[in-house]
Amino acid sequence: MGEDSDEFKPEGEEEREVSEKAAYDRSEMLSLLQQYYRGEMSQSATFLGRLDLTVDWAIAVVTAILALSFESRGSYLLLIGMVALSMFLIFDVRRYRMYDAYRARVRLIEENVLANAFDPEGVPLTNWREEIANDLKHPTYKVSYIETLARRLKRIYLPLLVLLGLAWLFRITIFVPDETWNETAAIPGIPGEIVVSIVGVFYVVLFVLTFWPRERKAKGEFHGKASDTWKEAD
C-alpha cells in the first residue's frame, strides 16, 4: 500500500513553515492579522480585568481597616493596612507591565494597520511587522518598573495610603486624649518614636517615587510623545 501524499507531517519543513505564505500573500496576512488582533485584545482585556480586581481588593482592605481601627486598642491595624496596600501595589505593578506589553502590540496594529486603512497616509513605523515578530519571539516589558510604580502610585495607591496615614495620625493624637502620641503609636516591642520615624520615612519615599521629575519613557499613549521607534523598557 503506497504512502498517502496528503498525510499531514508536523515534522516536515513545509508544515513547520505553514505560516510563511501569509508573509507574502496580502489576503492571508489580513486574515492572520484579524485573528491576531482579536487574541491580543483578549489578552489585554484579561490583564486589565486583573488590574481592576487588585484595585477593588485594595479599596476593600482600606475600607475594612478604617472601620475596625477605631474600635480596637492600639494603632497597629492601620500599620497593617499600609503594609497590605504596599503588597497590593507590588502585585499591581507587575500586572500593569504585563497588561502594557499586550496593549502596546494592540496599539502598534491600530496605529500602523487600522489607521492607515481608514486614512492611507503611510505608516508611522515602517518596520512594524519586524517589530511585532521580534517581540513575539522575545517578549519584553515596554515600560520600566520605576515608571510603572510612580504611575500607579499617582493614580490610585498614593491617595489610599495618604488616607490611611491621616487616619493613623488622627488615631495616635486626637482620638486618644488620655494617652501621649508615642504611647498610642507604640506596638509590642517597638517604641512609639521608632514607629513614627519608620512611617515618616515610608511616606517620604512614597512621595519621592511619585513626584520625582523624570522623563516619561512610555510612548504610543495619550500622554506619551510621538516616536519613530517602538517603545521599550529600560
| Tens digit of each residue's pLDDT (9 = 90 or more) over 150-200 | 999 999 999 999 999 999 888 888 776 667 777 778 788 888 889 889 999
Average pLDDT, the chain: 84
For residue 214, count other CB atoms closer than 10 A to its CB. Answer: 10
The total number of residues shown for the chain amounts to: 234
Give me the amino acid identity at 154. Answer: K
Q: What nine digits make up the cell of 16?
A: 513547520
The residues pairing with 190 across neighbouring beta strands, listed in sequence order, are 187
- Report whether pLDDT(6) > 80: no
DSSP string, 56-67: HHHHHHHHHHHH
Over residues 88-124, the pLDDT tens digits come to 999 999 999 999 999 999 999 998 988 888 988 888 8
Chain-centroid distance of CA 153 in Å reads: 11
Over residues 133-153, the pLDDT tens digits come to 999 999 989 889 999 999 999
Three-state SS at 190 = strand
Position 92 scores a pLDDT of: 95
Position 222 scores a pLDDT of: 57
